[in-house]
């Protein structure tokens, strides 16, 4: 879990850093382009400066600009610059006569369509050959420069052109185009050798810019949503991110930004504060906004009062959509909670498994001596409840696992047996109470034969227990609870119906929500949500049908299953040989219980609760098998196993622990453990395991 949290944090930080680096690089490029364009020089010099800046600021190794020459009807090279020029290494000269017809090669296609082309790796996306080409790149980007021409960028190594990077370079192409137009106007419209003739194609202006400028284009690039407001708080300009956040259909220019807020009064308060405060700036986090489809999202808001030479000219509203960041933050928080829950669950389950082990062990030692059938039936019900409790603890221990082990065998349960078990296990809780008050619960079963479902028996018993107890609570005057099953295709359906008070539609729609309850204080509201989770985990579904005064029916659908195949566990043979065993367990109750189980089968057992004494005993004696608890003070089970194997590598070592679920399906031979047994442990399983090892 710690690795998962670290990985998620690293991914989030890298993504944030990547976007931040990209924004910084863009701002630096724009700033340097503007400075270069302000110099008194011709278009060729300006273009060469632009290309030099790109080489210095990016990972591209060669770049060029081609402009459209109307007279010849071709794209012609205006300027070229590469890494070799940067380091004053003359390894090749650019083809000054390089030109392309309309639609010819990549450059001609980009110019004719106005759509950029990106090739990250020529091995995966072939590049068309250019006759007598000087530069043969591995990756390439060709970007329109307004209606003037194209910008070519290339490198001798593969590049990854993310959507953000593509958007940035397309903006760069527009900026360079406008700067070139400015330089051309300042030089009388003449280049040293020719006039740049724009092709006669209608160019769509940016929708919010009455006059184009570099600062406007930089504003358009910003990932945050930007609104420029007049002194009355009405929107006069927006950037492209607003359209992406809010939706293209929302026309907001000329309106108050309050239309973006789920609660318009929030913006009015922010506007008032920005107007009155000395700083002229207010911010608010986690504000609910609405997009054009009516969906809400969370954003951080900054509102700044703008002034020019002391004169108040309007406001700047910055909207940062926090949806992705909050989702990432929520994942981190959830992972941390799961990690904490897993740690807590481990400690609690260890102690609880010891308690269950004590109950189970004593029941199994007593059962062979009981002849009264009623008492035997009660003890067997307790035994089954212990196994169910153990399975619940195991789920808790493995709660933080992201996926179920695909190697695990598909569990199979007999629906009829599960219903019988649940009725019998819950009977003491409700039968006597109902009968004393003169009310009765009539439980009916209509389960078809061979109703086998693919679900863990303990999980199904937990679900049915929740449904049965809820049905009893819904029938304060008594009534009928019916269990029925029927197959349909590859699914098996189980219905649990009652004749109780029923539910309204609103209640039935929320019945599986965590913490939702109609039983008042003292009820967690988790029973049905857990039931839904258990059914879903096994690929099934659970639905509810109910009307007030007409009772309730829960319908469970599960995958049908075939009878489980595999070796049947054999009980230990009566004539099993007697072996010399050492047992190490720090809990005196469990120690005595396991010792008695083993001695009843004729084994000679040395039982110790002190780990240090156990090590001394291993050094001075020979044992046929060593059984040890894992978590013990001073000396752990790992040290016992290591010492036993050091003394005799052939002696089997069995670890018995309440932490067993964390080590299931794990090969522990390298740590000196031949078998890991989880508490609570049945007598049969203990003896069978020893027999196999010996």
Whole-number pLDDT of residue 151 = 93
| 244 vs 289: which has the higher pLDDT | 289
Which residue ranges make up each domain of the chain? 2-186, 222-321, 410-563, 580-693
- 574 contact partners, CB below 8 Å, separation of at least 6: none
CA distances to 222, 284, 306, 337 from 280, in Å: 22, 14, 8, 40
Whole-number pLDDT of residue 143 = 93
388 touches 380 (CB < 8 A): no
E strands, 247-394, where?
A: 281-290, 296-308, 311-321
532 touches 511 (CB < 8 A): no
CA distances to 150, 392, 509 from 461, in Å: 70, 11, 24
Whole-number pLDDT of residue 677 = 82
Mean per-residue pLDDT for 8-19?
43
Helix (H) or strand (E) holding 237: strand 235-238
Whole-number pLDDT of residue 435 = 67
222-321 folds as Beta-Lactamase (3.30.450)
Mean per-residue pLDDT for 198-209?
35
Whole-number pLDDT of residue 396 = 56
The yes/no answer on whether domain 410-563 falls in CATH 3.30.565.10 is yes
- With vertex at residue 81, the alpha carbon angle to CA 79 and CA 85, rounded to the nearest 5 degrees, is 135
Q: Which of 363, 415, 416 lies closest to 389 in space, CA to CA? A: 363
Average pLDDT, the chain: 76
For the chain, helix (H) and strand (E) counts, in that order, are 18, 23
Q: For residues 669 and 398, what is the distance between their CA atoms, to the nearest angstrom?
A: 22
Whether residue 241 is predicted with pLDDT greater than 50 in this model: the reply is yes
Q: Which of 299, 352, 457 lies closest to 679 in space, CA to CA? A: 352
Instruction: For the chain, give the percent of residues with pLDDT over 70.
Output: 74
331: confidence class by pLDDT, cuts 50, 70, 90:
low
| 199 vs 593: which has the higher pLDDT | 593
- 453-510 pLDDT per residue, tens: 999 888 898 899 889 988 988 888 889 999 999 999 899 999 999 999 998 888 888 7
Picking from 186-190, 395-399, 594-598, which range would have the lowest pLDDT averaged per residue? 186-190
220: confidence class by pLDDT, cuts 50, 70, 90:
low
Looking up tokens 């009539």, which residue turns up? 442
Picking from 299-303, 371-375, 398-402, which range would have the lowest pLDDT averaged per residue? 398-402
Residue 204 dihedral angles phi and psi, to the nearest 5°: -75, 120
- 539-566 pLDDT per residue, tens: 899 999 998 988 999 999 999 988 755 5
Mean per-residue pLDDT for 295-318?
85
Beta partners for residue 678, in sequence order:
657
Q: For residues 433 and 378, what is the distance between their CA atoms, to the nearest angstrom?
A: 19
655 touches 675 (CB < 8 A): yes
| 523 vs 297: which has the higher pLDDT | 297
Whether residue 201 is predicted with pLDDT greater than 60 in this model: the reply is no
Whether residue 90 is predicted with pLDDT greater than 70 in this model: the reply is no
Whether residue 601 is predicted with pLDDT greater than 90 in this model: the reply is no
Whether residue 400 is predicted with pLDDT greater than 60 in this model: the reply is no
Q: Which of 535, 565, 567 lies closest to 412 in space, CA to CA? A: 565
Helix (H) or strand (E) holding 553: strand 552-559
Whole-number pLDDT of residue 21 = 57
Q: Which of 378, 45, 62, 20 lies closest to 222 in space, CA to CA? A: 20
What's the CA dihedral at 685, 690, 692, 694 to 10 degrees?
A: -170
Whether residue 336 is predicted with pLDDT greater than 70 in this model: the reply is no
Whether residue 176 is predicted with pLDDT greater than 80 in this model: the reply is yes
DSSP state letter for 360: H
Q: For residues 533 and 529, what is the distance between their CA atoms, to the nearest angstrom?
A: 6
Among 31-40, 370-379, 450-459, top mean pLDDT goes to 450-459
SS3 365: helix
Q: Which of 96, 116, 121 lies closest to 166 in space, CA to CA? A: 116
Strands laid side by side in the 675-678 sheet: 604-608, 580-584, 625-629, 653-657, 675-678
Mean per-residue pLDDT for 521-525?
46
- 628-671 pLDDT per residue, tens: 988 787 788 889 999 999 999 999 998 887 665 556 556 677 78
Domains 2-186 and 580-693 share a fold: no
- 511-520 pLDDT per residue, tens: 877 666 666 5
Whole-number pLDDT of residue 491 = 92
Q: Which CATH architecture has domain 580-693?
A: 3-Layer(aba) Sandwich (3.40)
591 touches 585 (CB < 8 A): yes
526 touches 514 (CB < 8 A): yes
- 142-157 pLDDT per residue, tens: 999 888 889 999 888 8
170 touches 176 (CB < 8 A): no
- With vertex at residue 344, the alpha carbon angle to CA 338 and CA 346, rounded to the nearest 5 degrees, is 100
DSSP state letter for 203: P
The number of C-alpha atoms within 13 Å of 490 and in the hemisphere containing its C-beta is 4
Mean per-residue pLDDT for 169-177?
85
The CATH number, out of the four listed (1.25.40.10, 3.30.450.40, 3.30.9.10, 3.40.50.150), of the domain defined by the range 2-186: 3.30.450.40
| 444 vs 434: which has the higher pLDDT | 444
- 374 contact partners, CB below 8 Å, separation of at least 6: none
599 touches 493 (CB < 8 A): no
207: confidence class by pLDDT, cuts 50, 70, 90:
very low
Whether residue 537 is predicted with pLDDT greater than 90 in this model: the reply is no
- 255-264 pLDDT per residue, tens: 888 988 989 8
Mean per-residue pLDDT for 426-439?
72
SS3 199: coil
Peptide bond into 512 cis (omega under 30): no
Q: For residues 681 and 560, what is the distance between their CA atoms, to the nearest angstrom?
A: 30
């Amino acid at each position: 879990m710690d690795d998962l949290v670290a990985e998620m944090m690293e991914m989030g930080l890298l993504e944030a850093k990547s976007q931040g680096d990209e924004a910084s690089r863009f701002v630096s490029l724009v700033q340097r382009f503007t400075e270069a364009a302000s110099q008194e020089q011709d278009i060729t010099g300006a273009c060469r400066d632009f290309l030099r800046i790109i080489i210095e600021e990016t990972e591209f190794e060669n770049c060029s600009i081609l402009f459209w020459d109307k007279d010849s009807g071709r794209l012609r090279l205006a300027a070229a610059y590469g890494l070799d020029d940067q380091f004053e290494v003359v390894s090749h000269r650019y083809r000054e006569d390089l030109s392309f017809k309309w639609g010819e090669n990549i450059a001609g296609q980009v110019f004719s369509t106005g759509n950029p082309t990106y090739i990250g790796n020529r091995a995966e996306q072939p590049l068309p050959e250019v006759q007598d080409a000087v530069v043969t790149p591995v990756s390439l980007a060709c970007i329109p420069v307004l209606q003037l021409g194209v910008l070519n960028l290339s490198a001798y190594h593969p590049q990854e052109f993310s959507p953000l990077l593509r958007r940035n370079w397309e903006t760069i192409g527009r900026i360079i185009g406008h700067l070139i137009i400015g330089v051309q106007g300042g030089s009388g419209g003449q280049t040293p050798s020719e006039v740049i003739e724009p092709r006669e194609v209608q160019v769509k202006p940016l929708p919010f810019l009455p006059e184009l400028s570099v600062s406007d284009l930089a504003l358009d690039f910003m990932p945050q949503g930007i609104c420029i407001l007049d002194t009355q708080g009405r929107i006069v300009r927006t950037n492209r991110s607003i359209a992406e956040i809010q939706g293209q259909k929302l026309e907001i220019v000329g309106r108050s930004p309050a239309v973006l807020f789920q609660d318009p009064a929030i913006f009015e308060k922010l506007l008032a504060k920005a107007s009155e405060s000395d700083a002229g700036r207010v911010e608010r986090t986690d504000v609910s906004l609405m997009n054009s489809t009516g969906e809400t999202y969370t954003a951080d808001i900054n509102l700044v009062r703008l002034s020019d030479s002391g004169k108040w000219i309007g406001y700047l509203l910055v909207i940062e959509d926090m949806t992705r960041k909050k989702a990432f933050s929520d994942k981190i928080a959830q992972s941390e909670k799961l990690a904490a829950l897993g740690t807590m669950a481990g400690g609690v389950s260890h102690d609880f498994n010891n308690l269950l082990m004590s109950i189970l062990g004593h029941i199994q030692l007593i059962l062979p001596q009981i002849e009264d059938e009623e008492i035997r039936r009660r003890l067997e019900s307790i035994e089954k409840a212990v196994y169910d409790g153990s399975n619940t603890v195991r789920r808790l221990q493995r709660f933080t696992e992201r996926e179920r082990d695909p190697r695990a065998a598909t569990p199979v349960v007999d629906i009829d047996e599960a219903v019988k078990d649940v009725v019998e296990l819950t009977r003491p809780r409700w039968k006597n109470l109902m009968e004393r008050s003169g009310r009765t619960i009539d439980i009916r079963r209509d389960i078809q034969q061979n109703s086998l479902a693919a679900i863990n028996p303990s999980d199904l018993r937990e679900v049915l227990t929740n449904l049965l107890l809820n049905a009893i609570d819904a029938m304060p005057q008594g009534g009928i609870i019916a269990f029925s099953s029927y197959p349909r295709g590859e699914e098996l359906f189980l219905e649990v119906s009652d004749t109780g008070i029923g539910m309204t539609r609103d209640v039935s729609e929320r019945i599986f929500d965590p913490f939702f309850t109609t039983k008042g204080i003292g009820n967690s509201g988790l029973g049905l949500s857990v039931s839904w989770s258990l059914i879903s985990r096994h690929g099934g579904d659970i639905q509810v049908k109910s009307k007030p005064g007409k009772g309730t029916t829960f319908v469970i659908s599960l995958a049908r299953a075939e009878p489980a195949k595999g070796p049947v566990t054999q009980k230990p043979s009566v004539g099993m040989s007697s072996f010399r065993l050492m047992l190490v367990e720090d809990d005196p109750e469990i120690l005595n219980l396991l010792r008695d189980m083993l001695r009843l089968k004729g084994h000679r057992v040395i039982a110790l609760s002190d780990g240090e004494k156990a090590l001394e005993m291993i050094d001075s004696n020979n044992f046929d098998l060593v059984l040890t608890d894992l978590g013990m003070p001073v000396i752990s089970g790992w040290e016992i196993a290591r010492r036993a194997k050091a003394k005799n590598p052939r002696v089997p070592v069995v670890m018995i622990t309440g932490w067993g679920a964390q080590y299931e399906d794990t090969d522990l031979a390298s740590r000196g453990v031949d078998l890991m047994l989880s508490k609570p442990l049945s007598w049969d399983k203990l003896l069978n395991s020893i027999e196999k090892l010996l």
